[in-house]
Structure 1
Amino acid sequence: MSDWTWDYNPSEEHVADGLPTGVMAEVERLATELAALGDDAVRIGRPLDREGGLREFDILNGRGFISFLAVPRHRCVYVCNVTWYG
């Protein structure tokens, strides 16, 4: 089990404004899973050819994606943006 956590960056209001409740539930579920991966979260999602930096991960069968930062020194996954196509 990882001791990593997750949070919104810069804030939940900024990232989640106007998104359906079900989408946010999925984002929070995925963020919890990413935090559970710990240091391995820097390799999940796009881009595939390198580690670290801003990553992207599809949500709800490609109907959107999340952008996140996995920061090992903070031991935290930061959800920075949610794009929802509906």
Structure 2
Amino acid sequence: MSHWTWDYNTDDSAHITGGLPPGVIAEVERIATELSALGRDAEAVGRPTGRTGGLREFDILGGRGFINFLAVPRHECVYVCGITWYE
């Protein structure tokens, strides 16, 4: 089992989640929990494909939006950096 955690990539999570419907925030947090359970393998999830590391992008809610995240092995943490939601 992974000891990784997840967090928003800012001290003020409202900066990333502000104005989003509660269901979208819940889905993002669910996905972040799943990504952290992957541990180091989270570095290869989503786009860009064919390489690991760096800022990653992952679709949410059937392509109605996406999250940007960083998987940082040194911190054993997945950081949610941004959420794009198409209303």
Scaled to the shorter chain, the TM-score interval is over 0.9
Number of matched pairs = 86
Show structure 2 runs of 5+ residues with no match: none
Deviation at 1:49, TM superposition (A): 1.8
- How far did residue 22 of structure 1 move? 0.1
1:14 equivalent in alignment to 2:11: no
RMSD: 0.6
Bigger mean CA offset, 33-42 vs 5-14: 5-14
What does residue 56 of structure 1 align with? 57
**Alignment deviations for residues 16-44 of structure 1 (CA, whole Å, 9 cap, x no partner):** 01000000000000000000000100000
Identity %: 71
TM-score (norm 2): 0.97
Q: Deviations over 1:39-78 (max 9, x none)?
A: 1000000000210000000000000000000000000000
Task: List structure 1 runs of 4+ shifted beyond 6 angstroms.
Answer: none
Residues of 1 paired with 2:49 and 2:15: CA distance? 27
Q: Which residue of 2 aligns with 1:45?
A: 46
Q: Which residue of 1 aligns with 2:66?
A: 65
